[in-house]
Amino acid sequence: MPVIDTRMPALLRSGKPALGMFVGIPSPALVEMCGHAGIDFVIIDNEHGPAGIETTEHLIRAARAANVAPIVRTHEPDILRVLDVGASGIQVPQIETAEQAARVVAAAKYPPVGNRGAAFSTRAAGYGFFGGDPHIAASNDGTIVVIMVETRQGVANLDAILEVPGIDAVFIGPNDLSFAMGYPGKPGTPEVAETIERCIRRIAAKGVAPGVITLSVADHHKYAAMGARYLPGLLSGILRDAMRATVRECRGG
């Protein structure tokens, strides 16, 4: 079986909402549970989560075993390493200009598309068993690039960013955007919510998959109705809410 799960590009192009899950707790068991539950993709959170590269490799391996596509949220300098250990895509935060977006795409793709460094001894290439042209094709065509727009400057430059070839999804970060717009931690404020909706519709109009976090089932359906197709929930939030409800019911309160 090839190492890289290459289903994400086709899923995003299908027009159907893709159901994902942010996993910030570096536990392979939790990643496997997401797969067994029928989640389409997990986002291993290396921006806010504590996982190092070796742990990330194990999380990606768990995702492959449980048939769920692993995306890694990572900063630009680590793009090569997370792809080399077998990620199905990258999600890069705090993109504010078309130049930044183009740099991210280039780092994620092998020549002639980009400038990703090549080594076929990596896990992504099956330690050489799946190297050469098949690995290059699987990596360039079968992995996705997701960029995050979550500042005023990013929103202002969104149209230019969307002109960059090779971007599969643009993810709007509601929480950081709320801070940037002067409503810290309040993404439901009308000005922020309206900005998110306008961005989703602009992204969809360009044929790129819009993405946004969904903190409830109602959020999922609301954003899907706007045209969003890359829709991850938050695993720690689901666990928190389930534990709160269980404790409350057990104690009769």
Mean pLDDT across the stretch 26-35? Answer: 98
Residue whose pair of structure tokens reads 């044929």 in the numeric block: 207
**Residue 99 near residue 73 (C-beta atoms within 8 A):** no
Catalytic residue among 48, 75, 135, 220: 48
Residue 123 pLDDT more than 80?
A: yes
Q: Strand locations in the chain, DSSP E?
A: 18-23, 41-45, 69-73, 89-92, 144-149, 169-172, 209-212, 230-234
- The rounded radius of gyration (Å) of the Cα atoms in the chain is 18
**Residue 121 near residue 66 (C-beta atoms within 8 A):** no
pLDDT at 86: 98
pLDDT single digits (tens) 217-227: 999 999 999 99
Residue 68 pLDDT more than 80?
A: yes
pTM for the whole thing? 0.96
CA distance 219 to 207: 22
Reported confidence tier of residue 214, pLDDT bands at 50, 70, 90: very high
CA distance 105 to 99: 10
pLDDT at 1: 78
Q: Active site includes 48?
A: yes
Mean pLDDT across the stretch 231-249? Answer: 97
pLDDT single digits (tens) 131-164: 999 999 999 999 999 999 999 999 999 999 999 9
Q: In order of start, what are the domains of the chain with their CATH numbers?
A: 8-250 (3.20.20.60)
